[in-house]
Structure 1
């Protein structure tokens, strides 16, 4: 490589959730966007970001708070979903920079929420399902969750599991552990 940064956005979202069925009138909405920028040329994580997003069509349940650590009061102070998408596009070149997530949930959640709210989808088409790449590179028949994959890779879980910012940071470590297997995906 010529030293030019090859940047990758690693994204992990947390969304409103419930222990059981979704309550009538509520929907899963993004309440946190975690983003780690990876410089693939240098093989390192170069930035970690956390953006809280204010839900408009649901509330944070006790179950969701227990899982993510996020409260309704915290996310009430967040930005709108539209502003979050504009931030991704402006600050992180989301429309042109390749991005990755652990599985397809994050990509699908953005697609659904953008369609439901009329907000422009902030990402380009260059998405990599890091979970699938990890499983294929290791010859696994079953795709492990992020915490399990960290164990298989001999990497520590840094921070709190189900924190978007911490999970994006950990997913980035898994991506870097894959080396050329990820870059060829």
Structure 2
């Protein structure tokens, strides 16, 4: 089985989004094999379709520029590349994220573009599992969890590939402890 440790960034604004919709603007993922080893990574920007202009708030939060998304392909093309990299039709896999948001956003963007969502059922939310494993009262944010484990948070917070790489550190450290099935 391959474990796909992933994170997303999406369009964002102060307050409610225009047209009530956030769209994925970056996918970052680390593929971990059955031995708990990181094998490869996937990182792509995504050009939003409904609200193609990034807000100043979003650019500041994510450090993703308008040029980054303007030069990118729209979601259906990037999702196809991601699914190929995951190996959706080739071998068993599980998508792993920190919280429910990332899976929900993949479903929402897939439905927006009338794409299959069946493969997204193979998902594991690491955040509550980590809280339980560590006997914590509350579910910590990713940055706090990384520090609790004695790791340095590397890369840029709120960049998909950086968040995925940091999440992979926690996943790999406790690889044999997770009940994924």
Q: Same fold (TM over 0.5)?
A: yes
Query: Of 136, 140, 146, which residue of structure 2 is paired with 1:144?
Result: 140
Equivalent position SS for 2:93: coil
Cα offset for 1:80? 1.4
Cα RMSD (Å): 1.7
Asked if residue 109 in structure 1 is aligned to residue 105 in structure 2, the reply is: yes
Aligned ranges 1:73-152 → 2 under 5 Å: 73-94=67-88, 96-121=92-117, 123-152=119-148
1:12 matched to which residue of 2? 7
Q: Is contact 1:88-1:122 (8 Å) kept?
A: no
Cα offset for 1:181? 1.7
CA distance in 2, matches of 1:126, 1:27: 24
2:46 matched to which residue of 1? 53
Unaligned runs of 5+ in 2: none
Work out the number of aligned pairs and report it: 178
Asked if residue 161 in structure 1 is aligned to residue 157 in structure 2, the reply is: yes
2:178 matched to which residue of 1? 182
1:37 matched to which residue of 2? 31
Cα offset for 1:125? 2.3
Cα offset for 1:94? 3.5
Unaligned runs of 5+ in 1: 1-5
Cα offset for 1:133? 1.1
Cα offset for 1:184? 4.9
TM-score, with structure 2 as normaliser: 0.91
TM-score, with structure 1 as normaliser: 0.89
1:3 matched to which residue of 2? none
Q: Are the structure 2 counterparts of residues 21 and 175 from structure 1 closer, same or farther at C-alpha, using a change threshold of 3 Å?
A: same
Q: Is contact 2:6-2:164 (8 Å) kept?
A: yes
Cα offset for 1:40? 3.6
Q: Is contact 1:55-1:81 (8 Å) kept?
A: yes
